[in-house]
Chains A and B, each alone.
Chain A
Amino acid sequence: MEPAEAELFRLADDELVLAERYTEWQIFAPTPESDLALANIAQDEFGHARLWYDLLEDEFGYDEADLVWERDPDDFVHSTLVELETPEGDWADTVVRGYLYDVAERLRLEALEDSSYAAIADRVAKVQGEEEYHREHAQSWLDRLTASDESRERVQAAVDRLFPHALTLFVPTEHEHDIVEAGVRTRSLAELREDWLDEVVPALESLDVEVPEPGAVVRPEPLGRDGSHTDDWFALHEEFTATYHELGFDEPAELRGENA
């Protein structure tokens, strides 16, 4: 697999699966306003997933069926952070997940701005612009939820649960050396991980949230990036592909430029 291709799969799969989890809040969010905000974010993430999948189609000859609908769930390489089922009513989980992801996403996109792979570099600005709003959204909710004891405890529980999975965002695959060597990404995952820790750890601590010591964290068994996943992913995958298989259409409908 080409280095750019490997990087694109990480990008696209993260966004797709995160968006799928976000849509679970639609209609169920705490208020109509938060419902609308999260729906916006979910749509942005689906849009980004589509943008990266489109690139895989254009540059590497895949089609949507290969990439999304008929790909073996073991071949998806998203981080386990984005696939975990959200406990019912746990808005803190979604806020924390969004925050941890969005900071990592900004750093990753910055490292793709000067990608040697022009088609990636060309698309970064559009994605980055939308991700900025997502970070503001997550940050402002973090501020709110940590303002009172009860909801801060929920944030703390979410950090405890999600932090080990967030570290899988930076797990390298066998393509990592080539990705950096070819300049597809201008910073290594190890460097991005350091940058990310330098940002999220003090930020969370300033809100009186304790962050596990990264070195002491027991990494979850499935790493996501290597195709190993939690049961939550396999259940989700089966759920969202079931209708596709039931219908057996010739190909997934494309509505570009219409109402999509």
Chain B
Amino acid sequence: MNIEAVKERAGPREFSPADDLPREYREAATRMIQFHANSEVMGGYLDKEFTRMAPSLDRKLACTAKCQDEIGHAQLLYRAAESLGVKTREQMLDELQAGEGKFLNCFHYPVDSWYEAPMIDFFVDGGAMRRQATLKNTSWEPYAHAMDKVCFEEGFHVKHGEDILRELMRSSKANQERTQAAFDEWWPRILQFFGPTNDESHHDDFAQQVGLKTVSNDELRNSFLNMYVPKAEKYGLEIPEYPRIFERDDGTMAVREEDLDWDEFWTIAKNDYPGSEVQIGSRRDRQEAVAWVRESMDDWEASAGDDGRTPAGAD
């Protein structure tokens, strides 16, 4: 199939490994799904911190379950990306470790307090939900299929984040103020989560033409603002004055993009932000520390493992 045919046929769940797709499509889809899978892994790094901090046994269980779900999502997504035949999972994990893999801007900022838990688990995940819901209609069928499970589980995550926010905002004045301070810090990052308005994002045009993306950055952000500004206010958070949010003539919400720090955004996009090095470096160090285990597994598979008694429990 040539690229024109792809554009013509493009629609929800239209293409699968049974189709002969041009390299251009397969590379664009790989880039997008790899980014998504990497983001699940790097988002898990933040939730891992929250597991240790969690102030009740039930919260601790919810945090560890969420962290586990994220690794599960990454596993599904790497598989959906692999099915395009461009890169193996191992290559993608190696790239992430080497600092070459790209992932969501919000996961380049280390966290150090529980007040940040709802910023990630409610607002960032809420934003991710907006995007992921539209990806159930992406043209790469294995990706759409992965989204069915991911969206189902993310629904629980967002509820968990909302409950943490509710608890914080109903507690002491000091906790409310610190939650607001965390919100002030995270809000611009969350608005940038959706990326710049369409004309600045050069991958988007193509991704939309071939049905990988079905909704523009601007529409997603609008949908997020419509849903989450009222929720933030409901729990007593004040929306910061800057970046300015406004209502367009057609009733949709938008942000004045000149109020956002795009230099920081593009630095992050290149993995060059100081936090990028912290987050990527902590993963790299840990992965290097367990490299010996992967080697010993390779040995095992090369010898005893091939007698058909590879232990199921060891996965």
A28 contacts chain B at the CB level, 8 A cutoff: yes
Q: Which of A171-219 contact B (CB under 8 A)?
A: none
Q: Is the CB of A144 within 8 A of B58?
A: no
Give CA–CA (A258, B289) in the complex, Å.
Answer: 37
Q: Which of A31, A140, A249 contacts B294 (CB 8 A)?
A: A31
Q: Is the CB of B163 within 8 A of A249?
A: no
Interface string of B258-295 (1 = CB under 8 A from A): 00000000000000000000000001001111101111
Binds B, one of A75-83, A112-120, A156-164, A235-243: A235-243
Interface string of A224-257 (1 = CB under 8 A from B): 0000000000000001101110111110111110
Q: Is the CB of A89 within 8 A of B290?
A: yes
Give CA–CA (A74, B54) in the complex, Å.
Answer: 21
Q: Is the CB of A30 within 8 A of B57?
A: no
Knowing A69-B55, A140-B314, say if A27 contacts B44 (CB, 8 Å).
yes
Residues of A with C-beta under 8 A to B314? 34, 37, 137, 140-141, 143-144
Binds A, one of B2-10, B70-78, B186-194: B70-78
Q: Is the CB of A91 within 8 A of B61?
A: no
Interface string of A112-155 (1 = CB under 8 A from B): 00000000000000000000010011011101110110110010
Q: Is the CB of B300 within 8 A of A260?
A: no
Q: Is the CB of B62 within 8 A of A140?
A: no
A53 contacts chain B at the CB level, 8 A cutoff: yes
Give CA–CA (A69, B60) in the complex, Å.
Answer: 12
Q: Is the CB of B313 within 8 A of A23?
A: no
Residues of B with C-beta under 8 A to A151? 292-293, 296, 299
Q: Which of B132-184 contact A (CB under 8 A)?
A: 156, 159-160, 163, 167-168, 171-172, 175
Q: Is the CB of A240 within 8 A of B52?
A: yes
Interface string of B37-66 (1 = CB under 8 A from A): 000010011001001111111111110110
B315 contacts chain A at the CB level, 8 A cutoff: yes
Q: Which of B81-115 contact A (CB under 8 A)?
A: 113-114
Knowing A31-B294, A39-B64, A145-B296, say if A253 contacts B56 (CB, 8 Å).
yes
Max chain B Cβ within 10 angstroms of own Cβ: one of A46, A242, A254, A260: A260
Q: Is the CB of B52 within 8 A of A53?
A: no
State the main secondary structure of chain B at its contact with A.
Answer: helix
Q: Which of B185-244 contact A (CB under 8 A)?
A: none
A221 contacts chain B at the CB level, 8 A cutoff: no
Give CA–CA (A94, B107) in the complex, Å.
Answer: 28
Q: Is the CB of A154 within 8 A of B57?
A: no
Give CA–CA (A24, B159) in the complex, Å.
Answer: 24
Give CA–CA (A136, B314) in the complex, Å.
Answer: 8
Residues of A with C-beta under 8 A to B44? 26-27
Q: B43: nearest residue on chain A (CB-CB)?
A: A27
Q: Which of A1-19 contact B (CB under 8 A)?
A: none
Number of chain B residues whose Cβ lies closer than 8 Å to a Cβ of chain A: 58
A106 contacts chain B at the CB level, 8 A cutoff: no
Q: B90: nearest residue on chain A (CB-CB)?
A: A31
A88 contacts chain B at the CB level, 8 A cutoff: yes
Knowing A69-B55, A140-B312, A247-B171, say if A259 contacts B292 (CB, 8 Å).
no
Residues of B with C-beta under 8 A to A255? 58-59, 62, 163
Knowing A144-B300, A255-B62, say if A36 contacts B57 (CB, 8 Å).
no
Q: Is the CB of B292 within 8 A of A243?
A: no
Residues of B with C-beta under 8 A to A109? none
Give CA–CA (A68, B60) in the complex, Å.
Answer: 12
Q: Is the CB of B296 within 8 A of A43?
A: no
Residues of A with C-beta under 8 A to B172? 248
Q: Is the CB of B58 within 8 A of A254?
A: yes
Knowing A27-B44, A39-B71, A64-B56, say if A46 contacts B293 (CB, 8 Å).
no
Q: B303: nearest residue on chain A (CB-CB)?
A: A147
CB distance from A177 to the nearest CB of B (A): 31
CB distance from B34 to the nearest CB of A (A): 14
Q: Which of A43, A89, A254 contacts B64 (CB 8 A)?
A: A43
Residues of B with C-beta under 8 A to A136? 311-313
Give CA–CA (A258, B159) in the complex, Å.
Answer: 9
Residues of B with C-beta under 8 A to A250? 171
B119 contacts chain A at the CB level, 8 A cutoff: no
Q: Which of B41, B48, B159, B294 contacts A30 (CB 8 A)?
A: B294
Q: Which of B61, B74, B294 contacts A47 (CB 8 A)?
A: B61
Q: Is the CB of A36 within 8 A of B114?
A: no
Known contacts A34-B293, A35-B68; 5 further A-B pairs (Cβ under 8 A): A26-B51, A39-B67, A46-B61, A246-B113, A247-B175
9 closest A-B pairs by beta carbon, nearest first, are: A89-B289, A140-B311, A252-B56, A39-B68, A136-B313, A140-B314, A151-B296, A30-B293, A243-B53
